[in-house]
Amino acid sequence: MKIKTLSSEKIPSKRTPIQVRLRKIFLPIRVGLILIALGAGCSSEPKVTMVPVRGTVRFTDGSIPQGEVATVYFEPIGIGTQATQLGPGVFRKTAFGTIDPKDGSFQLTTVNPGDGAIAGKYKVIFDIRKTYMDPTSFLVPEKYTRSESTPFEVTVEPGCGPFQFELEKLPPK
């Protein structure tokens, strides 16, 4: 008894040789177009312009802020919370950077280290304190610590900076 398998049988094709050739030619093109269509505009990541932001912070006497806490914050204008909505699913967030005690330099971070800030207008505030343990050990006047009273307002856009900030120093206690 002989057993026939499907692979040994030839199934007659209803396609002409030209149709087979065209199918082989256009199949990769169709697959490519489908992949392009699926990838275009389907990203779940919001489209924002991240701008690298660097700068320096010094006191009016030329000295560099020295404290256990030395941070600069760029807060989006017009809000008192962490983020403002630019459009559906797009938020502008506060950016921050640690002030280097060696030279007063900083580099901003919004999401990933050193990624900068989202383009837009910001109020610049500072948290410069002698120690972490004492929240009242500020080395700068209160006006620099709140977005409502800071004299510094900047626009972050491609090609901006580096920013330079000169702060008054509180007299030692």
What is the rounded CA–CA span in Å between residue 117 and residue 168?
A: 25
Polymer length in residues for the chain: 173
Question: Distance from CA of residue 51 to its chain's centroid?
Answer: 8
Q: In degrees rounded to 5, what are phi and psi of residue 29?
A: -65, -45
CA-based nearest residue to 54, from 162, 165, 166? 162
What span, in angstroms and rounded, lies between the C-alpha atoms of 84 and 86?
6
Residue-by-residue pLDDT tens, the chain, 173 positions: 555 555 555 555 576 766 656 566 656 666 665 656 555 555 555 567 789 999 999 999 999 999 999 999 999 985 444 445 555 555 668 999 999 999 999 999 998 899 999 888 999 999 999 998 888 889 999 999 999 999 999 999 999 989 999 999 988 76
Look-up: residue for tokens 């490519």? 32
Measured CA to CA, the distance from residue 118 to residue 103 in angstroms comes to 25
pLDDT of residue 34: 63
Assess contact for 96 and 75: CB atoms under 8 A. Answer: no
Task: Give the phi and the psi of residue 61 in degrees, each rounded to 5.
Answer: -85, 0
- pTM beyond 0.85: the answer is no
Instruction: HSE, CB side, 13 Å, CA atoms: give it for residue 169.
Output: 15
Predicted pLDDT of residue 165? 97
Alpha helices, H only, the chain: 17-39
| Cα-to-chain-centroid distance, residue 133 | 30
